[in-house]
Chains A and B, each alone.
Chain A
Amino acid sequence: MLDRNETYEKLTAVVDHEIADKKELADLEYLINNDDDFKYEYLVQNSVKNLLKNKSHKISTPSIVLENVEKSIFGQTYQTDNKINWLDRITDFLFTPKYAFGAALILVLLIIFNLSSNLNSDEIFISQSGNNNAILQARDNYHKILAGELGVQFASDNPEAVSNYFQKSGVNYATIVPSFPKWNLLGGVVSDHDGIKLAHQAYASADGEVLYLYQIDQKYFKDKTVCVSDDMNKYLESNLFAKHRFEDEEMYCWKMNGKLFLLVTNEDPALIEDEFISKFM
């Protein structure tokens, strides 16, 4: 038996045509027609809904917004085309006979520069080092979770509660704690790095695949409280995310809104890219 307030809320669903059960709907309509209280609640709900539907005028998106979107998307291509033109010009210049020696020297330097700075993401992952390195910390934490050496400090499947726990525990940046249909939120951990608090959270699938996520505000990179290599930073500036398959797990890194996210998991990579990472973008 519903109490009166719960029944009032059901009237909202009547207004919104969200009562599927015909008998329940008939019972509620009976109440509306025979009880002044219920009738009033129904009328209030209905009149506000109709008022918003009829009186709240829609404003068109300013055209500049759509223009800017289009420019931003295609601006990238034009920029790329310009780079190609410049490369063509440089190549023409270098292959002029009188500059042949200088050209050879510049080419050698360019090759050396390219080898040292244009690493692919796999090489970048492997080259990380140092105790304050976030990628190494993330892998280490993930292994500890699997070994049962590291549990969540705050167990909850409620994203808001975990997010609040982070803030109350001294994490001094906005954290993102989404929920997913495929993975259950297990809870959160706050680690202490010389007084700086950093947020970690974990999820698990029904099959027992574990997803461990470490999120760090980039302001802590300045004083090297925690960091990743410059190569990784540069790579993430121009790519959506970086990923690398270690022996038994996959690691993903991406940047968003001034934060670095590191995910370590043994879950199917296609699922991760389609359904996990995309929720952060």
Chain B
Amino acid sequence: MTKKDPKLSESELRIKYKEFEEEAVPHSDALYNYALKMTGSPDDASDLVQETLLRAFRFFDKFEKGTNCKAWLFRILKNTFINDYRKVSKEPDKVDYDDIQNFYENIKSTDVKSQHFEEDAFSDLLDDDISVAITKLPEDFRTVIILSDLEGFTYEEISDFVDCPIGTVRSRLHRARKMLYAELYGYAKDKGYVNEL
């Protein structure tokens, strides 16, 4: 819910909204897609984006023009997610890194020995398979892979977003991709797109 800003007249409010509409609203799709992957629910994602945009509007005069508006909006979304959603939402079952690491090493060992890489194995997977696999990643890993590979954030921007050193971002991203690869490999194998190990 917005809170009334008693200092703004209606015309001032309209000017502020026009600037907001030009600068912030174009990033709403990116926010929604991120929210969808973080919450796993279209309703929660809608609520989360709505709340994020309202908070961003309230503080839009604090946003430094010319700086990275998308990164600023994502920070607000992250805080809103942590405060309002993560604590109440039931997390789906997550993959365990150690378990999946073993599976990954198995695939790797076979592929490296046979000089074979299933480059096209995933091309027949559905978007939904990929979305489900991303949603199953633990939150820290899911965050970095979405920001990097879907939203195009740099390591520095991700580091600022997750409050971690760049080395940690790189490490999480490395593991996240391996986990996702192993997970998708499993899907592709089930569907007969890759040969049995």
Which A residues contact B (CB, under 8 angstroms)?
8-13, 16, 18, 36-37, 40-41, 43-45, 47-49, 51-53, 55-62, 64-66, 68-70, 72-74, 76-77, 79-81, 159, 174, 176, 178-179, 237-240, 256-257, 273-274, 278-281
A27–B82 Cα distance when bound, in Å, is 41
Contact B32–A60 (Cβ < 8 Å)? yes
Q: Given A66-B25, A80-B4, A55–B125 Cβ distance below 8 Å?
A: yes
B3 to chain A: which residues have CB within 8 Å?
A: 237-240
Which B residues contact A (CB, under 8 angstroms)?
1-6, 10, 13, 17, 25, 28-29, 31-33, 36, 42, 46, 49-50, 53-55, 57-59, 62, 75-76, 79, 82-84, 87, 108, 111-112, 115, 117, 119, 122, 125, 127, 130-131, 134, 145, 148-150, 154-155, 163, 170-171, 173-174, 177-178, 180-181, 184
Contact B58–A77 (Cβ < 8 Å)? no
A242 nearest CB across to chain B (Å): 12
A9–B171 Cα distance when bound, in Å, is 6
Q: A43, A45, A279, A280: which contacts B119 (Cβ < 8 A)?
A: A43
A176 nearest CB across to chain B (Å): 7
Contact B4–A238 (Cβ < 8 Å)? yes
A52–B153 Cα distance when bound, in Å, is 14
A262 nearest CB across to chain B (Å): 17
- Identity of the chain B residue whose Cβ is nearest the Cβ of A173 in the assembled complex: B87
Contact B49–A43 (Cβ < 8 Å)? no
B1 to chain A: which residues have CB within 8 Å?
A: 72
Contact A9–B57 (Cβ < 8 Å)? no
- Which of A12, A74, A237 has the largest count of B CB atoms less than 10 A from its CB? A12
Q: Given A9-B174, A48-B149, A73-B54, A56–B112 Cβ distance below 8 Å?
A: no
